[in-house]
Amino acid sequence: MILLIQRVSEANVRVNSDIVGQIGPGLLAFVAIEPNDDDATARRLVERAVAYRVFDDGAGRMNLSLADTGGELLLVSQFTLAADTRKGLRPSFTAAAPPELGRHLFEQVVKFAHEELPGRTATGRFGADMKVA
């Protein structure tokens, strides 16, 4: 599983011009599922995302996590993170999980995130053409 995070003051994801997920201060997290991932991998990914110390502690050091700050988490599925770009100019996506497994494990990530951050988790829509801001 691959997780790409970005600190945000706010973020949203739209599908067909409708906002399907929106957060205030926190983390925007793009998630790529790989073929060998499982539910335990999904749980560990969420635990780490919530615990990453990437927020300022007021003394100029990144010592605080989402759990510490009360921040929110926006999860967006993004199979392109698993792209193999070592050869040629057309990326290969064979390192990404098949859609059925990807959907199941992304749903598990969302479930675990809701458990870790009740009321502070939003998502995009798996497989949709999403616009993230």
Which sequence positions are flagged as catalytic? 78-80
Q: How many CB atoms lie within 10 A of CB 79?
A: 22
What distance separates the 2 farthest-apart alpha carbons in the chain? 46
Q: Which uninterrupted H or E stretch holds 130?
A: strand 130-132
Q: Which residues of 61-76 are buried (b: 16+ CB within 10 A; e: fewer)?
A: eeebbbeeeebbbbbb
